[in-house]
Amino acid sequence: MSTITWITARGLFGRRRFLLLLPLPLVLLGLAVLCRSLGVDPGEWGPPVLVGLGLAVVLPVVALIIGTGVLGAEIDDGTVVHILTKPLPRWQIVLPKLAVAAGVTAVTVAVPLYVAGVLADSVRLGLALAASATLGALAYSALFLALSLVTRRPVLLGLVYVLIWEGLLGNFVSGTKVLSIQQYVIALADRLAPTGLLETTVSVPVASVMTALVSIGFTVLAIDRLRSFSVAGETS
Amino acid sequence: MSTLSLTGVSRWYGNVVAVNDISMALGPGVTGLLGPNGAGKTTLLHMMAGFLAPSRGTVTLDDEPTWRNPDVYRRLGLVSEREAVQGFLTAYEFVLASAKLHRLTDPAAAARRAIDLVELESAQDRRIGTYSKGMRQRARVAAALVHDPQVLLLDEPFNGMDPRQRLHMMQLLHTLGDAGRTILFSSHILEEVEQVSGTVQVMVAGRLAASGDFRTIRRLMTNRPHVFAIRSTDDRALAVALIAEPSVSGVELDPTGLTVRAGDYGAFTRALPRIALKQGIRVRQLVPSDESLESVFSYLVEA
């Protein structure tokens, strides 16, 4: 394991902020188990729990907390300087951090989604949700990691994207769905396990290409921004 | 041997000019960057360390720009002012991580050597979060020294240190400077600079107000009186003889000795032995009493 990965992981798990990650997946899991045990028709609880809660809230919010934390927290408290004063090409800093963010997000979200998918329909749906959520975790992490280098308020901006752009506008202005990671994840999951539970307007090729573009594009942006990273002086 | 060169460097934030047209070349030895808070010292250090782009001018380390060039960190170490460290690591882990990130061949040995250098062995296995401010500072210095850089930049390194730690840090900087390293440290406390370094770069309001040996700087300001405290076998007779000397502008006699104000540093120091010899007076003590950096500095700020 690289030193950057090690420091990032220790920083992430060593902070209390990490505890924020636990409630959301647990709620998702709890609701799925509850609906199943009460014998509610999956057609009724599937879409709101799997999509409305799992893919629209749990995945992006967990990714937001972790993605803005792996580098953003170090920028906030100034410890990033220790990593930056090393003769490392900046991609060697960004990629391990992205890997930690995407990996931890994927594990935190994919497991409850898998269980909920199995309870709602089949193992195939569970696997499809877990796999597409992992891809989504990568795209979201790249986006939020880049945000933490572009703005000083990455969490706020990330929430605006998740809640306003994906959550609100997606319902009224269908065009915004083309630029919504959530829609790509739904489209990919539906392609892997076609059921009546997932609905999307984005085609699978668009979803695949856009997921790759978002992941790579924001990673490149993050590397470039880190290259020009400025420490604010006392005067600013 | 590395040289850090600044050529016409300015940095502004909107309408605020933080650093204004500074040129300097830093070679081996210890240099103090002195100035009041808000003078732009940190901004200048950040530009030297490649953490800020100059709005105008160039900052180079051995002809390579420091901005957007991580390779300079092979030869450059930085101890920033913010005492941020990963508090969940022990000092040894922290310094070792630095050594590994530098891709040193034997990171463990390098980490131990750096920790020895700052005398932190006894606490190296405790979490940094439990350290005092001075200890944390030393841990950071160890991390910055782990790759034995040619150039070391320290922003207010003595902040929060107790006198013993301060003394030790000063000795450390001296040792590094004598070994041919280029050391620059910033401070707003004059005694610190005076004790560590004979060479100063004085910044006032974003400009380089003076640069060079601080005693020389003081001497160059001939329009200001230099104050000397003198004790001799016959203070009163010496006072009478001195006041006849053109370079002396005032003499004050008190029970502890003489306080002499001289307009011309060179002329006075040459005249004094001659006068004492002629009068048969033995000079027991001659102390330039305002030679401290404090007075140099207040002159510069007033000017």
CATH domain B4-213 topology: Rossmann fold (3.40.50)
CATH class of the structural domain B221-302: alpha beta
Q: What is the pLDDT of residue A236?
A: 35
- Which chain B residues are within 8 Å of A230, Cβ to Cβ? 46, 51-53
Share of chain B above pLDDT 90, in %: 59
What are the structure tokens assigned to A14, written together? 């060593």
**CB nearest B80 (choices: A11, A81, A88):** A81
CB-based contact B84 A4, cutoff 8 Å: no
| pLDDT value, residue B114 | 95
**What's residue B167's pLDDT?**
86
Shortest CB distance from B53 goes to which of A4, A230, A236? Answer: A230
Interface contact B51-A231, CB threshold 8 A: yes
Task: State the best of A6, A10, A85 to mutate against chain B, taking most chain B CBs within 10 Å.
Answer: A85
Cα separation, B240 vs B276, in Å, equals 11
Q: Which residues, listed in sequence order, are joined to residue B207 by a DSSP beta bridge?
A: B204
Distance of alpha carbon A53 from alpha carbon A25, whole angstroms: 9
Chain A residues close to B84, C-beta within 8 Å: 77-79, 81
Query: pLDDT band for position B224 (50/70/90)?
Result: low
Q: Which residues of B touch A84 (CB under 8 A)?
A: 51, 70
**Contact list, B51 vs chain A (CB under 8 Å):** 81, 84, 229-231
Q: Is residue B54 predicted with pLDDT exceeding 50?
A: yes
* Res. B222 pLDDT band, cuts 50 70 90: low
Q: Which two tokens stand for residue B135?
A: 């200890």
Ordered by start, the domain boundaries in chain A are 3-227
Q: What is the mean pLDDT of chain B?
A: 88
Contact residues, chain B to chain A, C-beta under 8 Å: 11, 13, 16, 18, 37-38, 40, 42-43, 46, 49, 51-53, 67-68, 70-74, 76-78, 80, 82, 84-86, 88-89, 94, 97-98, 100-103, 143-144
State the pLDDT at residue B248.
Answer: 92
Secondary structure of chain A in the HEC alphabet? CCHHHHHHHHHHHHCHHHHHHCHHHHHHHHHHHHHHHHCCCHHHHHHHHHHHHHHHHHHHHHHHHHHHHHCHHHHHHCCHHHHHCCCCCCHHHHHHHHHHHHHHHHHHHHHHHHHHHHHHCCHHHHHHHHHHHHHHHHHHHHHHHHHHHHCCCHHHHHHHHHHHHHHHHHHHCHHHHHHCHHHHHHHHHHHHCCCCCCCCCCCHHHHHHHHHHHHHHHHHHHHHHHHCCCCCCCCC
pLDDT for A235 equals: 38
pTM of the model: 0.84
- Residues of chain B positioned with their CB less than 8 A from the CB of A77: 84
Choose the weakest-confidence range: A96-105, B126-135, B219-228, B268-277.
B219-228
Are A192 and A131 within 8 A, CB to CB? yes
B86 contact residues in A (CB cutoff 8 A): 7, 10-11, 79, 82
Chain B partners within 8 Å of A81 (Cβ): 51, 78, 80, 82, 84
Matching residue, tokens 């993605």 = A67
Angle at A76 between CA A70 and CA A82, to 5 degrees: 75
**Range list for CATH 3.30.70.100 in chain B:** 221-302
pLDDT tens, N- to C-terminus, chain A (236 residues)? 689 999 899 888 877 778 888 899 999 999 999 999 998 999 999 999 999 999 999 999 999 999 999 999 889 888 899 999 999 999 999 999 999 999 999 999 999 999 999 999 999 999 999 999 999 999 999 999 999 999 989 999 999 999 999 988 888 888 888 899 999 999 999 999 999 889 888 999 999 999 999 999 999 999 999 999 988 644 33
What average pLDDT does this structure show over B104-124? 93
- Residue B227: the pLDDT is 86
Contact A77 B84 (CB under 8 A): yes
- Tell me the shortest Cα–Cα distance from A186 to chain B, in angstroms: 39
Query: Is the ipTM above a cut-off of 0.90?
Result: no
Q: What is the model's pLDDT at position B295? A: 66
Helices A23-38 + A91-120 axis angle, to 10:
10
What pLDDT was estimated at residue A151? 92
Question: Could you tell me which of B245, B242, B246 has the C-alpha nearest to residue B234?
Answer: B242
Residue B293 has pLDDT above 60, yes or no: no
